[in-house]
Amino acid sequence: MNPAGLPEQVRRAWAIAKKDIRLYYAKKSVLIFGVLMPVFLFLAFFTGSRQLPLAFLIPGLVGVTLLFTATALSPAIFSWEGRHGTLERLASCPITIEAIVLGDMIASILFGIGITTITIFIGLALGLSLLHWITMIASILLASCCFSAIGMLLAVPPTNEPSTPMMLSLLIKFPLVFISGVFVPLEQLPSWGLALSACSPLTYFTDLVRYSFTGEHFFPVVVDIAILGVFTLVFTAGTMYLHKRTMPKRI
């Protein structure tokens, strides 16, 4: 990307994000996979794990909600655009591929933040206290970028069938939920489980949310933020690079 044109490319990325918000937020698949799925998953664990306190379960709900909402939109946007022929028109405009990807990510980030904020207010309404709100805000911003980039990575294979990346995203997200200390305390995981959890960005985000609500954490807060930041940079750089390579195959 030409540095001299960076502000203009960012403005065009924001225009793409606004277009995505208008067109895709109300799609049934986005609402089902992004909103209803984490709610049903939480209710299933809540009814079967009454021995776990809300102070443990609500941070898990926040983590799952952000993961599912921030990845509900981004995997399928390119497929929808390709099916309707709008991707070709975007590619013919004076806009870089990185800006197109950034616009789609921004729409996913805002969707994730908006829905996740509701779950935080639910936790507060149920009696939890937000002890470290700065940490909460920083971790949500960082994790939403990370999860949105993961969603865009799932959209790398060139296809015009939205169901393909959506199903692939479910195959990725459900294992992440079960290895990330969302509904099972990390302290209760065996050594191999802890090794797997260390490979999941959801682990560090959930730990930060739990710290924000209760002051308790498994990893040092600085470590959580640093590793989550590394995941975000790696996934974002990877999705920009790979989409630049696969874009010609879509048009």
What is the pLDDT tens value at each position of the chain, 251 positions in all? Answer: 444 477 888 888 888 888 888 877 777 767 776 677 777 777 776 666 556 788 888 898 899 999 998 888 877 787 777 676 677 677 677 788 888 889 889 999 999 999 899 889 988 988 899 999 999 999 999 999 999 999 899 888 777 776 777 778 778 888 888 888 888 888 888 888 899 999 999 999 999 999 999 999 999 999 999 999 999 999 999 999 998 888 777 66
The closest alpha carbon to 199, from 216, 181, 184, 212, belongs to 181
Whole-number pLDDT of residue 250:
66
Q: Look at phi and psi of residue 85 and say left if phi exceeds 0, alpha if psi is from -120 to 50, else beta.
A: left
**129-160 in b/e burial notation, b at 16+ Cβ within 10 A?**
eeebeebbebbbebbbbbbbbbbbbbbbeebe
Contacts of residue 143, defined as CB under 8 A and 6 or more positions apart, other chains included, come to 66, 70, 201, 202, 205, 208, 228, 232
Whole-number pLDDT of residue 89:
73
User: What's the CA angle centered on 230, arms 122 and 246, to 5 degrees?
Assistant: 100
Whole-number pLDDT of residue 26:
74
Phi (first) and psi of residue 131, to 5 degrees: -80, -35
Whole-number pLDDT of residue 4:
45
Whole-number pLDDT of residue 106:
94
The closest alpha carbon to 143, from 166, 167, 120, belongs to 120
pTM (two decimals): 0.87
User: What's the CA angle centered on 66, arms 118 and 127, to 5 degrees?
Assistant: 40
